[in-house]
Amino acid sequence: MPTRITVITALAVASAGIAVGFERNPGGAAGAAAGWGLGARAEALGRAYAALADDAAALYWNPAGLAALERTEFAFAYGAPFGDVGDVALGDAVIAKPLLYSMGETAGGAGSLGTLAAAVAFRRAGDIREANEAGPTGRTFANTDFELYLGYAHTLGAKGAFGLALKNVTRGVADYSDSGFGLDFGATYKPLGDLTLGAVFRNVIAPNFRLKALKNAPPLTLEVGASYYCFNVVSPVASFEITREAFYDVGAGVEITPVKYVALRGGYYTGDERPRAGLGFALGNFRFDYGMRIGGPLGDSHLASVSLLFGGVEPPLDVVVPEEEGYIEFEPEEEPSPEGESGEAEEETESGPGIPGIDELFEESSEGP
């Protein structure tokens, strides 16, 4: 217990200290509603999801988290990024499948070849007023991003995992569009108990865009994070990210599970200086998550996602099914050989009829009174 309290206190103090000590990343992120990621859970936790990611949305936040999946998961999300602005929307769909196979009862149940995942996402900001050096032109245009992801993850021993995510981003601004490929790399490690550390390099290969004469590419970013699951109720999380240009952002949050099927979440992210809140509901193979960015000059932002779980590990083929109670298996009786067909039959004939009691009777009568 003291160890858990010490870890929780250290995480809370470190998160608060970092959040106060660093200013918002002035570099920002280009594109229509860029940087929203996948799913709603991470948003509600202040985007501090590099260590906690354990669902299909990990494909974006830290692909190594995909290795934690034990069942196929399909998830989709939809959101309104800015409540006071019309014609702005985002959405995504993700599928992740663990490549599990049966190893039989004696070999430990199931083995894994890793986890594959794929996702498609769109971000759109329309009805943007056009302007030039002379001022507004009276025309409007749209800014759209269309993203494709393909990821793979595998465990590293009993405590670690790694993951890769390939991405293709097509960006369109007014009449100009271009696309580019990128690569992210992530890792997770559990040094002790329920403490998890995560790290992800985003844009190891950055998707480059050239729109008219303007070249644009997201920066190489390193994010490190930690999460700690304690008392089976509380999960504090924290993350720190830095770009190649030395811009910093910090996220921190907490997830509380007061009852088995409900999770309450809150967080803060210095990148936009806005607090977060959200909740989750899980029942059987169904999960619903909601995240909200509170305040801001353009109003609150809302994002909801739904996840469905399918399948599982098939039972081993060599499992012995127990016989039903009351079932008795009889061995077939051997048919007697006809007399005279074998030596054994002749011997039986010579030894008498073989009826119990008859031989004894003949012996007594031969001896006399």
Share of the chain above pLDDT 90, in %: 49
Beta pairing class for 248-259 and 262-269? antiparallel
pLDDT confidence of residue 339: 54
Return d(Cα 69, Cα 285) in angstroms, integer.
13
Q: Which amino acid is at 237?
A: V
pLDDT at 166: 97
> 342 exposed, middle or buried (CB, 10 Å; 0-12, 13-18, 19+)?
exposed
C-alpha–C-alpha distance, residues 188 and 26, integer Å: 28
Between 153 and 362, name the one with better pLDDT.
153
Q: Measure the CA angle with vertex 236, ends 234 and 239; round to 5°.
A: 160
Q: Where are the domains of the chain?
A: 2-310
Question: According to the model, what pLDDT value does residue 329 have?
Answer: 52
Q: Which carries the bigger pLDDT value, residue 74 or residue 260?
A: 74
Average of per-residue pLDDT values in the chain: 79
Residue 359 has pLDDT above 50, yes or no: yes
Predicted confidence at residue 352, as pLDDT, reads 47
Residue 320 is predicted with a pLDDT of 46
**Considering the entire predicted model, what is its pTM?**
0.74
Question: 3-state SS of the chain?
Answer: CHHHHHHHHHHHHHHHHHHHHCCCCCCCCCCCCCCCCCCCHHHHCCCCCCCCCCCCCHHHHCHHHHHHCCCEEEEEEEEECCCCCCCEEEEEEEEEEEEEEEEEHHHCEEEEEEEEEEEEEEEEEEEEEEEECCEEEEEEEEEEEEEEEEEEEEEECCCEEEEEEEEEEEEEECCEEEEEEEEEEEEEEEEECCEEEEEEEEEEECCCEEECCEEECCCCEEEEEEEECECCCEEEEEEEEEECCCCEEEEEEEEEEEECCEEEEEEEECCCCEEEEEEEEEECCEEEEEEEECCCCCCCEEEEEEEEEECCCCCCCCCCCCCCCCCCCCCCCCCCCCCCCCHHHHHHHHCCCCCCCHHHHHHHHHHCC
pLDDT at res. 347: 47
Look at residue 110 in the predicted model and tell me its pLDDT. 66
Average pLDDT for 155-168: 95
Q: Look-up: residue for tokens 């149940």?
A: 109
pLDDT of 57 over the 80 cut: yes
Q: Work out the pLDDT band at 33, boundaries 50, 70, 90.
A: low
CATH class for the region spanning 2-310: mainly beta
Residue, of 241 and 9, whose pLDDT is higher? 241
Tens-place pLDDT, residues 318-327: 444 454 444 4
Q: How far apart are CA 42 and CA 54, in angstroms?
A: 11
pLDDT at position 49 over 50: yes
Q: Mean pLDDT lowest for which of 93-102, 232-241, 288-297, 346-355?
A: 346-355
Q: What's residue 238's pLDDT?
A: 97
Dist CA 207 CA 328 (whole Å): 70
**256-57-10-273 Cα dihedral, nearest 10 degrees:** -90
CB-count exposure of residue 57 (10 Å: 0-12, 13-18, 19+): buried
Among 94-108, 259-273, 336-350, where is mean pLDDT lowest?
Answer: 336-350
Cα–Cα distance list, 100 to 44, 94, 314, 320 (Å): 31, 19, 9, 21
Which of the four pLDDT bands, split at 50, 70 and 90, describes residue 13? very low
168: closest CA among 152, 151, 153, 146?
A: 146
Query: Quick one: pLDDT at residue 143?
Result: 82
Least confident of 6-10, 106-110, 159-163, 282-286: 6-10
Strand, helix or coil for residue 43: helix
Which range is least confidently modeled, 101-110, 121-130, 159-168? 101-110
pLDDT: which is higher, 78 or 31: 78
Rounded mean pLDDT, 72-93: 85
